Every structure is written in C-alpha cells, then in structure tokens.
C-alpha cells in the first residue's frame, strides 16, 4: 500500500517538473509501465478542435504511431472510455464491438485492455491506457490507474491550455498561457518579480539551459557567494555556539570546495539543464544516498545537504525581491500574495499581480481592485520558480497570465487600453450629475477604503462606507499603538468631514493574517475571525476604539461598524467595551466627545435570521455580501477550486438580502451594502430593486455604477427584481439577468 503511494507520489512529482509536454507524457507512460510491470502504457490527449483523441506517448506500442493515431471519441475502445467517462477493463479486446485496429501501433498482440479517462474540472482531457498480452488487470491496478489519472489531470490541463497538446513535441509543458481567476480588472505588461517566501528546491522544474556557459558561470558565482556567507556566519558565531556546531559551517565549505559536488552540478548543466534544475537533481541524489544509510548520524546529513542546496538556490534565483534591482514595470508574483508583500513594493511601479493561491473574492483581490492594479489569482499551476524576470501579461478580466506574450497580443493590449480610455472619458461626463434613478429616487454611493494611498477625498463618494482598519494593521510588524492609530483615523475623518466615515473594527482571521500574529487553523474562515478575535483580546479592541473616539473629537462623522457578528451577545459585549472606552476617553482628556453610531455587519447566516433583533440594538446595518455569500453557500471565498459556485446571485443570497433590507425599513435603520457586489453595475441594479439605497464600493467602480443607476426606472426595476426572487434555480436566475442586460 505504502509502496504504491510512494510510487504515485514520485511519478506525480516527476511529471510536475517535466520541462515539456512531451517529456511529461513520456515520464507518465514509462514510469507507470515499469511500476505496474505491464506490457504497454499509452496516453491519448483529447484535441478540442477536432474532437479526436491523439496518441501522444506510449511505452510498448510502436513509436511511429505517436502523433499519427487519432481516434474520434465515437470510435474504438479508447473513444468508448472517453464517451462514457468511466474506466473500461476488459479481456479479449479484439472481439469487442467497439474495437478498432490501428496497424501502425503493432497492438494486435495485446488482448487485455484497461483505459481510464483523464478528467479535470469536469472536462475530458484524455485517456490513459494499459495493454497486456495475457491475463487480466486486477482491481488494484485499475484503482491505481484511476488515482494517478486524477492526480495528473492538473498538469495535463495546464499543458492543454498552453496549446502544447496540439503542437506536440518540444512545446513547453504548460508555460504559454495559464488561467486562474480574474481578481482585478485591466491588463498589464511587465517583468515578473517573484517573491518566493518558501524558496524550495523541490519547486524547481526541469528546463533546458538556453546558454550553457552562462548557466555554469551563474552556478560558479552562486558557489562563491555561499562560501563567503558561510565564512561570515562562522566567524560571527565564534564563541557564541559550541565549537562542534560551528564546525558544520566548515563541513559545508569543504563540501563546496571539494570537486565532486560542484562537478556533478556542472556536468548536469553541460548535459543541457539550467543551473537551478541541475542543482536540484544533484542535491536530491545525495539526499537519497544519505537517507538510505543505516547509520542515523549519516542519515541526518541528508538535511545538511538540503540546507546547503537551499542556500545555493537562494543565490541562484533570488527568492526575495531586492528593491534596488526591481524593474520599471513590476508584475508581483508569489504563492500567496499578501498585503505585506504589496506594502513592500513601490506601488507606482507595480503594474500587475499574480497569486498562485486565492480567488476573485479573496482580500488580495479586493486590495488589488482598491489599488486599481490588474490581478489574477488561483493560478496554482504556474511554474513560479522559472518565471523570475520574464516578461508577463496579466489579464485581470479573463484571468489569463501570458508567459510568452506575442507582438500580436501587445497590439491588442494597446487597442484595449484605448477603448478603456474612451469609456473613462464618457464616465467623466456624468461626474457632476446627482445620483438619482430615472424616476428621481436618490441613491447614495460610498467608497470602500483602508489603504494609506487613499488619503485624498474621493469626489464621487458620499462618504466612506467601509474603512477596513485591518489594512494599516497588516502593513506593520507589530500592533499599531493608540496614538499611531489616532493619527491614521483622524486623517481619514478630517479628509471626509462632514461626510460620514464608517470604520470597521479590526477584522483579521480568514485570509487576512497579521505577519506578527499568525493564526494557524484548519478552517480559518470558520475560526477566530473579526469580532470573535477582538472580544477575546479586549486590550486590542479598547485601544482601537479609544483611538477612533479620540480621532472623532470635534469632527463627529465617525460611525463604528462591527464585523462577523453571529450572536446578539457579541453585539452586547462589544457595546459594553465601546461604552467603557468612551467614558475613559472623556474622563481623561475631553469634556465631552461626539458619540459614534454603532452598526453591525450582516455577513453570517445566523445574523440574517436575527436581523430584526440586531436592528433594534444598533444604529445601522451593512451587508458584507462577500462573506454572506461564502457562508450561505458553504463555499470558501479564497478557494479557486470552488470559485465557479461562489455566486452572489444565488436565490438563497437574494432572499437573504431581501430579508435584511426589509428589517432595516421596519426598524427605520439605514441599511447599506459594502461587499464587492455593490461595485458591480449589474448587481447594483439588482440591489436597488431589493431595497438598498446605500452602496459602498471600490473607488474605481463609483462612476460605472452611477452610469447604470441613472438609467434605471426604480419602480419597474423593483417589480422585475421581485419576480426574480421567485426563481429557484441559480442558472435560471443567471440567464434571466443576462437576458435583461445584454
Ligand atoms: C464582506 O464580507 O462583504 C466585507 C465587506 O468584508 P470583507 O470582504 O473585508 O470580509
Ligand atoms: Mg467580511
């Protein structure tokens, strides 16, 4: 069992590292054939244009058949596997009615057949087959093949997207275009700056050396740099750690001075590998040798080799960005782009963002939209370690990242930019108009804010509907003190006075981590988030509220908003603390101070069902539709795999939104919406129909939403939206909306 699992892992790892589609498929067929000791293993890739399955690699059939055998999905046993999307395990295959003979394969001798479909995100990518001269494939072999096909699907999909399957041999394995989730709109061209906080050798893929001499020189210079670092570290630790531990550095140096290790890497480069790939292969070989040794001391040395390998890798591929060397047009690329990473980049040179993790509803995407920087998230198959310094195109509308942008694409980009400029000019013309519907209903548009760069007052907003206080917390290396917070908040309140500014208390947890307060949880979105965290840390909550109240002195436009309320007692407990902070501040330094309205974010299903009670105990409500959608539909907003089913138009979400707006009206409490829905023009029109008259959104959406509102007849729209509420099927809702706006 374990050995099967190890074999599986090894094959998947090797395939993921393959430099080309051809290499990847060759590895698949040869490793599976030898692991299962079968006569033939082949892989057919589904070509979308022709609908045919093309034999792209085989170990066992005649090599001349590769690329030549093409089977329509409606024909042959391979086609049958594809058509049924199920495994087929038969003996006596030539007697089967679906059997079709391809003389160029030489397969007539193999009567035993097992085929499994390769499926990725419900789409057929190809078929993996085994053939045998005699006997029958066991259930265990069948399960193994199903497992490996499902694990390889991601890597193969990647190659498919790149067009690699069609072009066949020599085409980079999935490196032309990769597709993720659209995060922030717009298109950007720039050079990749990879912030690889993990900097792992195992992430390094195989890639041919473009210039062998250059790669050797790079490796030699990395060697020199690491030797220097080791000497420096060893002497700075002299007298501070025991001598035998310090000897480790000498051992490392000796290893780097010795010819064997270096020579092995150089030989790998001379055999055609790029330097990081060569280093990975040699380190892995040595690690394997040490790990297999009997002596536990020698086994431990494997870790030293790994450590040394990591140091050399860091010198070869800088894992952290050095601001001096940053290009003029930066595309920030990282496994998980965080607010802290963004804070470290010169924003004026930042053109695009690519994150391997996350989705269109992640906070990184929200941040990118606020900064107006095109972003693509959830590109989990991007070979991050080999794109540093490459020219990339980030298409934040389609979710594509182009790894080798053609001249034609760049021309298209210029044309798209021109269209965008024209749209912006058109939007300028409505800037001074009041925000009213065709039939004269007044709507208030607010801005979502929280970034240090947002200090200028937005002329298109009626105030700040959501100030995310966690952003200034995230861009620091410790909790900001009361005075520090006071200055930040005062600045925002003054900037917008007398317009209202809604400040949300610290909302960390989920996908918002503070670098200095990591929270490790299995289910972070169901864990210690928002108000749950701050009520458990009253010292942090009180300092924040005190800073807000002090900042409001003499201005009076502050509104305090509580995130993630799921229980009426949380609201009560927060109010007690706010009262305490108020009396403290007044007692200490002010005769009197303006009281702030206290609002509750409705973003958890339990709050929807208690919205009547909540509305009675607070001054205003604001819907966090980002979280409300995630919790109502049980779909992680940060997970690209389920991004398709994250749907704010889902009937359940629409019903909940209606309930909330009715409760606000009933208790005469203002209700706004500050989730991303509010900033999407079509969603905004639907929200109007649901009774929302205050919408808060990213600065870049304000005029776009306004343009739609100016065209709406609010009465007709209300009738239409109410009829939509009777539709139970989310697809039908979507189609009805599409029809209305197309
Ligand atoms: C929301 O959940 O809709 C919201 C506005 O808050 P955040 O996106 O910061 O969680
Ligand atoms: Mg939220």
Average pLDDT over residues 309-337: 82
Instruction: Grade residue 720 by pLDDT with cuts at 50, 70 and 90.
Output: very high
Q: Residue 509 and residue 514: Cα distance in Å, rounded?
A: 8
Cβ(401)–Cβ(376) under 8 Å? yes
Which pTM was predicted?
0.82
Q: Residue 394 and residue 423: Cα distance in Å, rounded?
A: 21
pLDDT at 277 over 50: yes
Q: How many CA atoms lie within 13 A of 72 on its CB side?
A: 3
305 alpha carbon to ligand 1 midpoint, in Å? 45
CATH dotted code for 177-197+321-405: 3.50.30.10
Q: Which of 339, 368, 468, 566 to mutate to test the pocket of ligand 1 (most atoms within 8 A of CB)?
A: 468
Cβ(256)–Cβ(279) under 8 Å? no
Does this chain's domain 177-197+321-405 share its CATH topology with 436-741?
A: no
* Ligand 1 pocket member 698 (CB < 6 A): no
| Tokens read off for 221 | 């210079």
Q: What is the pLDDT of residue 306?
A: 86
Percentage, residues of the chain above pLDDT 90: 66
How many C-beta atoms lie closer than 10 Å to residue 389's C-beta? 13
Cβ(588)–Cβ(548) under 8 Å? no
Q: Residue 321 and residue 16: Cα distance in Å, rounded?
A: 25
Q: Residue 264 and residue 283: Cα distance in Å, rounded?
A: 10
pLDDT at 557 over 60: yes
| Tokens read off for 64 | 């001349």
Q: Could you tell me how far CA 510 lies from the centroid of its own chain?
A: 14
Nearest CA to ligand 1 atom 4: 624
* Ligand 1 pocket member 480 (CB < 6 A): no
SS in 3 state form for 237-305? Answer: CCCCCCHHHHHHHHHHHHHHHCHHHHHHHHHHHHCCECHHHHHHHHHHHHHHHHHCCCCHHHHHHHHHH
SS3 422: helix
Domain 2-162 class, CATH top level = alpha beta
* CA nearest to 531, candidates 490, 568, 479: 568
507 alpha carbon to ligand 1 midpoint, in Å? 9
Out of 46, 363, 402, 650, pick the active-site residue.
Answer: 363
Tens digits of residue pLDDT in 164-214: 443 433 344 445 788 899 999 999 999 999 887 667 787 777 778 888 999
578 alpha carbon to ligand 1 midpoint, in Å? 22
Tens digits of residue pLDDT in 445-503: 999 998 876 678 999 999 999 999 998 898 788 999 999 999 999 999 999 999 999 99
Nearest CA to ligand 1 atom 1: 624
Place of tokens 């990518």: 125
Atom of ligand 1 at shortest range from CA of 510: 10
| Tokens read off for 145 | 């093949």
pLDDT at 265 over 50: yes
Q: What is the pLDDT of residue 210?
A: 83
Q: What is the pLDDT of residue 2?
A: 60
Nearest CA to ligand 1 atom 8: 626
Nearest CA to ligand 1 atom 6: 624
Ligand nearest to the CA of 625: 1
Q: What is the pLDDT of residue 707?
A: 97
629 alpha carbon to ligand 1 midpoint, in Å? 10
Q: Which of 446, 602, 675 to mutate to test the pocket of ligand 1 (most atoms within 8 A of CB)?
A: 675
182 alpha carbon to ligand 2 midpoint, in Å? 20
* Ligand 1 pocket member 674 (CB < 6 A): yes
Q: Residue 563 and residue 575: Cα distance in Å, rounded?
A: 13
Write out the E strands in 558-717.
Answer: 558-562, 597-602, 620-623, 671-673, 694-697
Tens digits of residue pLDDT in 78-98: 999 999 999 999 999 999 999
Nearest CA to ligand 1 atom 10: 627
CATH dotted code for 436-741: 3.20.20.60
530 alpha carbon to ligand 2 midpoint, in Å? 8
How many C-beta atoms lie closer than 10 Å to residue 738's C-beta? 10
* Ligand 1 pocket member 627 (CB < 6 A): yes
* CA nearest to 636, candidates 389, 398, 437, 362: 362
* Ligand 1 pocket member 502 (CB < 6 A): no
| Burial tier of 101 (Cβ tally within 10 Å: 0-12, 13-18, 19+) | exposed
Domain boundaries, the chain: 2-162, 177-197+321-405, 201-316, 436-741
Tens digits of residue pLDDT in 373-412: 999 999 977 877 668 788 999 999 999 999 889 899 999 9
Atom of ligand 1 at shortest range from CA of 366: 8
- 199 in active site: no
Q: Which of 508, 526, 603, 673 to mutate to test the pocket of ligand 1 (most atoms within 8 A of CB)?
A: 603
* Ligand 1 pocket member 626 (CB < 6 A): yes
Q: Which long-range contacts (CB under 8 A, 24 or more apart) does 483-492 make?
A: 483/547, 485/543, 485/544, 485/547, 485/548, 485/551, 486/547, 486/550, 486/551, 489/547, 489/548, 489/551, 489/552, 489/558, 490/550, 490/551, 490/555, 491/455, 492/449, 492/454, 492/455, 492/464, 492/467
Cα dihedral across residues 503, 507, 508, 510: positive or negative: negative
Atom of ligand 1 at shortest range from CA of 677: 3
Average pLDDT over residues 260-288: 90
| Tokens read off for 229 | 């670092």
Q: Considering the chain, what is the average pLDDT of its residues?
A: 90
Q: What is the pLDDT of residue 318?
A: 64
Q: What is the pLDDT of residue 320?
A: 58
Ligand nearest to the CA of 677: 1
Cβ(387)–Cβ(410) under 8 Å? no
Domain 201-316 class, CATH top level = mainly alpha
Q: Residue 200 and residue 283: Cα distance in Å, rounded?
A: 12
* Ligand 1 pocket member 640 (CB < 6 A): no
Q: What is the pLDDT of residue 134?
A: 92
* CA nearest to 159, candidates 2, 20, 363: 20
Average pLDDT over residues 234-242: 72
Q: Residue 436 and residue 270: Cα distance in Å, rounded?
A: 70
* CA nearest to 311, candidates 259, 386, 255, 267: 255
Place of tokens 């939509």: 724
Q: How many CA atoms lie within 13 A of 109 on its CB side?
A: 9
Out of 199, 319, 618, 674, pick the active-site residue.
Answer: 674
Compute the chain's Rg from CA coordinates.
30
Q: What is the pLDDT of residue 139?
A: 94
Q: What is the pLDDT of residue 168?
A: 39
Q: What is the pLDDT of residue 385?
A: 66
Task: Give the residue, 149 or 316, on which the prediction is more confident.
Answer: 149
19 alpha carbon to ligand 2 midpoint, in Å? 41
Atom of ligand 1 at shortest range from CA of 530: 10
| Tokens read off for 460 | 């298109």
Average pLDDT over residues 44-66: 92
Average pLDDT over residues 433-449: 97
* Ligand 1 pocket member 603 (CB < 6 A): yes
- 363 in active site: yes
pLDDT at 157 over 80: no
Lowest pLDDT segment from 218-222, 312-316, 317-321, 593-597: 317-321
């Amino acid at each position: 069992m374990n050995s099967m699992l190890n074999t599986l892992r090894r094959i998947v790892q090797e395939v993921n590292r393959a430099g080309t589609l051809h290499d990847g498929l060759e590895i698949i067929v040869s490793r599976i054939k030898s692991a299962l000791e079968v006569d033939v293993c082949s892989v057919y890739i589904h070509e979308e244009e022709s609908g045919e399955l093309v034999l792209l690699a085989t170990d066992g059939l005649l090599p001349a058949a590769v690329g030549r055998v093409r089977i329509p999905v409606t024909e042959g046993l391979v086609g049958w596997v594809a058509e049924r999307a199920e495994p087929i395990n038969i003996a006596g295959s030539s007697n089967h009615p679906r059997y079709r003979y391809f003389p160029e394969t030489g397969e007539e001798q193999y009567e035993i057949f097992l085929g499994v479909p390769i499926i990725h995100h419900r789409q057929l990518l190809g078929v993996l087959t085994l053939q045998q001269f005699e006997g029958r494939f066991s259930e265990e072999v069948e399960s193994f093949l199903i497992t490996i096909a499902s694990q390889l699907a991601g890597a193969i999909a990647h190659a498919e997207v790149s067009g690699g399957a069609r072009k066949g041999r020599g085409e980079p394995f999935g490196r032309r275009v990769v597709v993720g989730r659209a995060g922030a709109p717009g298109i950007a061209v720039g050079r990749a700056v990879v912030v690889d906080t993990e900097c792992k050798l195992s992430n390094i893929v195989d890639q041919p050396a473009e210039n062998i001499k250059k790669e050797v020189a790079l490796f030699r210079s990395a060697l020199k740099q690491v030797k220097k670092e080791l000497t420096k570290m060893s002497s700075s630790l002299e007298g501070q750690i025991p001598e035998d531990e310090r000897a480790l550095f000498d051992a490392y140096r000796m290893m780097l001075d010795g010819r064997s290790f270096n020579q092995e890497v150089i030989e790998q480069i001379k055999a055609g590998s790029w330097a990081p790939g060569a280093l990975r292969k040699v380190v892995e070989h040595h690690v394997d040798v040490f790990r297999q040794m009997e002596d536990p001391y020698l086994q431990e040395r494997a870790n030293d080799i790994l450590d040394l390998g990591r140091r050399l890798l860091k010198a070869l591929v800088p894992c952290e960005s050095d601001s001096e060397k940053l290009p003029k047009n930066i595309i920030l690329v990282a496994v998980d782009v965080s607010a802290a990473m963004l804070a470290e980049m010169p924003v004026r040179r930042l053109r695009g963002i690519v994150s391997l993790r996350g989705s269109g509803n992640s906070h990184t995407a929200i941040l990118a939209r606020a900064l107006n920087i095109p972003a693509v998230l959830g590109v989990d198959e991007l070979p991050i370690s080999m794109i540093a310094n490459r020219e990339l195109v980030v298409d934040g509308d389609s979710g594509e990242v182009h790894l080798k942008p053609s001249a034609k694409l760049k021309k298209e980009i210029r044309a798209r930019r021109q269209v965008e400029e024209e749209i912006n000019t058109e939007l300028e013309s409505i800037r001074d108009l009041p925000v009213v519907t065709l039939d004269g209903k007044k709507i208030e548009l607010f801005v979502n804010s929280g970034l240090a760069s947002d200090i200028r007052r937005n002329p298109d907003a009626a105030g700040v509907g959501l100030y995310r206080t966690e952003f200034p917390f995230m861009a620091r290396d410790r909790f900001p003190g009361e005075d520090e917070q006071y200055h930040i908040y005062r600045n925002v309140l003054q900037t917008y006075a007398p317009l209202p500014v809604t400040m949300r208390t610290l909302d960390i947890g989920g996908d918002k981590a503070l670098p200095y307060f990591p929270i490790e949880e299995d289910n972070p979105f169901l864990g210690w988030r928002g108000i749950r965290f701050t009520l458990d840390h009253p010292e942090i909550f009180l300092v924040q509220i005190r800073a807000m109240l002090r900042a409001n002195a003499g201005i009076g436009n502050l509104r305090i908003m509580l995130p993630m309320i799921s229980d009426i007692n949380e609201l009560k407990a927060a109010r007690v603390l706010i009262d305490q902070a108020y009396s403290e501040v007044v007692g200490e330094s002010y005769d009197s101070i303006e009281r702030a309205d206290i609002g509750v974010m409705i973003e958890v299903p339990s709050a929807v069902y208690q919205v009547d009670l909540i509305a009675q105990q607070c001054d205003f409500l604001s819907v966090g539709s980002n979280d409300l959608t995630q919790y109502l539909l049980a779909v992680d907003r940060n997970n690209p795999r389920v991004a398709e089913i994250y749907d704010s138009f889902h009937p359940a979400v629409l019903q909940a939104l209606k309930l909330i707006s009715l409760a606000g009206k009933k208790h005469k409490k203002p209700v706004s919406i500050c989730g991303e829905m509010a900033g999407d023009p079509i969603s905004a029109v639907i929200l109007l129909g649901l009774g929302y008259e205050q919408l808060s959104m990213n600065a870049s959406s304000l005029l776009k939403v306004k343009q739609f509102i100016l065209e709406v007849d609010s009465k007709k729209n209300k009738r239409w939206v109410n009829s939509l509420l009777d539709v139970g099927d989310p697809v039908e809702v979507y189609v009805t909306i599409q029809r209305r706006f197309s």
